[in-house]
Each structure stands twice: as C-alpha cells, then as structure tokens.
Amino acid sequence: MRNDTIAFIMSGRRQRRRRWVLVTCSLALLAVLLCCAMLLLGNTIYPVKEIVRALFGEQVKGVSFAVNTIRLPRMLAGLFSGMAFGMAGIVFQTMLRNPLANPNIIGITSGSSAAAVFCITILHSTNAVVSVASVVAGLITVLIMYLLSRGRSFSIGRLILIGIGMQAMLDAVVSYLILISAQQDIPTALRWLTGSLNGSQMKELPPLLITVIVLTPILIALSKHLSLLELGEQSASSLGLNTDKTRIVLIVSAVAMVAIATATTGPIAFVSFLAGPIATRLVGAGHSNVVPAGLVGANLVLGADLIGQFLFEVRYPVGIITGLLGAPYLIFLLIQMNRKGEL
C-alpha cells in the first residue's frame, strides 16, 4: 500500500513537471513569435533576409534604421519590461497571499511615477535623471510601506492598506503636478504616465536588461522560500525559514525590477496584476511560477503593443490596451473576493 502511495505521488510530480515544461516552452515560443512580429511589422514590411542582415550589422538602405533604431529597441523594451512586471507581480501576490498585492495597486509604481513627473514638469530633467529618480522613489516608497506595516509584527493586511493609501496620495501629487506644469511639458508627462514603448532607445535599455538578467536567477533561487512564505508567517518560521531576511531580499529584487521597468517604459497598467494569475491557471500548483509569469508578462506587453499599433485606425500606447484588459479582471476579482468574504 505504501509503495502504491509513493508511486502515485511520484506520478503526480512527473505530470506537474511535464505540464510546467510544456507551458513554459509554449510561452517562450509565443514570446519569440511576438518579437519577430515586432521586428517585421511597421509602416513598411521588409523582407526577412534584409531584416536579418540589418540585425547582424550590415547597412541595408532604409532597413537598418527602421529595424535597429526603432523596432529592435521597442521590442527589447517590451520583452524585458513585461518580464520584469510579470515576475515582480507574482512575487508580491504569492508572498503577501493576496491577488491585489501587486506593484500597481499597492503604490510602488505610483512612487516612481510621482518622481518622474516631478522631474519632467518641475526640474525639466534629462531622461537619465528621470530614470534614476523613478527607481530611487520606488525603493523609498516600498521602504516606507514596509516600515509602517511592521508594528509589533509584519502584517500583510496592514501593508496592502498602507500601499493603497500611498497610491492615492501619490496619484494626487501627480495630478497636482500636471495641473501646475507648463503646457509644453504635459504631453511628455502624460505619455510617460500612460506606459508606452514609443521612443524607446538602445542607450536607455542596458539598466533594464542587466536588472532582469541578474535578478531573475535570484527570484528563481528563492522561489522555494516564496512558497513557504505563502503558508504564513508562523508556518514558514517553524520550518526554519528566516522570514524577515527572505522577505527583504524578495521585496528589494521585485521592487528593483518594477522601478527600473517603470523608469524605462512608464507604468504599463495591470501587467503585474494579470501575469501571475494567468501563469498559475496555465501551469497549476507544485512548481515555481516565476518564470511562466515573466513570460506571460512579456507576451501581454508585446501583444498589447501590436494591437495598439495595428488593430485600430489610431495608434494607442501599450498601457491603454493593457488597461482595457486588466480593468474588467480587477472588477471580477473584487466581486469574487466580496462573495467569499475576503473584503
């Protein structure tokens, strides 16, 4: 009987592993196809051979500029920012055991946005200064939230409530800055606040690329600890986990991803909110969903940008499309949580 039970458990693990591999590979393949579409589609559709030659450094008249200066930076910004938002979102949702606990809703991106708008409208800073200020502001925002939520012990509910309050306050600051800013600065600030891949440049991407490449292995390595944190503070501690240390590393890593992605593309709405639940539905339980969530986030951003560029007569920023996708899900989730008595 015992051998049958062990065999049944091992069979379940193998099935879950196969499902994880299949879903992750499928999401990666979809991301590759969307990246190819980002390079191929535009005002002019160039032959694939010419695009490949341009990517390998050959000077092809018309193609080299369009691909290397416009399409490639846009594609890389969408791919890596989507991965950053997706992975950071599932880290917060899993660690805090609440689907509402994502960087968009608990005020982290609002801190970055307020700093960026202040630099754009008041200081008239360069893009580099705006990026640095938004990253620093995001880190300071989450530090304040974490300290205020500790009390005698860390409280998930307190953190979420403080985050929502911080978001409301910072959004009011952004509105005030827009109200008093010079007329010529408003379009730049609003374009940044919407979340857009327009105007992405290769020289602005290295911080985002390096952050995602460096921090992704850290999040994967800590994913087992993340699963323990999902069990609750007391259960994780009883299993020998240093909850404070682990939580700080996870928060700093996730916030750094969100802040730098926000500094690069602006706060693309609802990607961090949607990526985790979608990845969990596709993969199921039993394995870390950090990588699938990152791939879902990348696919959401790339797909939404293609929809915004080519599906309508007017071209819309990617943040508008993801906002249209995410808002109904947020309403649905709130209704579900209210019915279950979780609100």
> Which structural domain range is residue 270 located in?
82-339
Global confidence as pTM: 0.87
User: pLDDT of 17-61, one tens digit each?
Assistant: 888 889 999 999 999 999 999 999 888 888 888 888 888 888 878
Count of domains observed in the chain? 1
Domain-located, residue 93:
yes
Identify the band that residue 306 occupies on the pLDDT scale cut at 50, 70 and 90: very high
Residue 80 or 132, more confident: 80
The residues, any chain, with a CB within 8 Å of residue 114's CB and separated by 6 or more, are 137, 170, 173, 174, 177
Element spanning 8, H or E:
helix 2-40
In this structure, what CATH number is given to the domain that contains residue 109?
1.10.3470.10
**304 neighbors 325 (Cβ within 8 angstroms):** yes
Domain-located, residue 150:
yes
User: pLDDT of 56-73, one tens digit each?
Assistant: 888 878 788 888 888 999
Domain-located, residue 158:
yes
**294 neighbors 31 (Cβ within 8 angstroms):** no
Domain-located, residue 228:
yes
Domain-located, residue 74:
no
Domain-located, residue 211:
yes
Q: Is the pLDDT of residue 308 over 60?
A: yes
The predicted pLDDT at position 232 comes to 65
Domain-located, residue 3:
no
User: pLDDT of 180-204, one tens digit each?
Assistant: 888 888 887 877 788 888 888 888 8
Domain-located, residue 61:
no
The predicted pLDDT at position 284 comes to 76
Cα distances (angstroms) measured from residue 98 to each of 64, 65, 220, 299: 46, 45, 20, 23
The predicted pLDDT at position 288 comes to 76
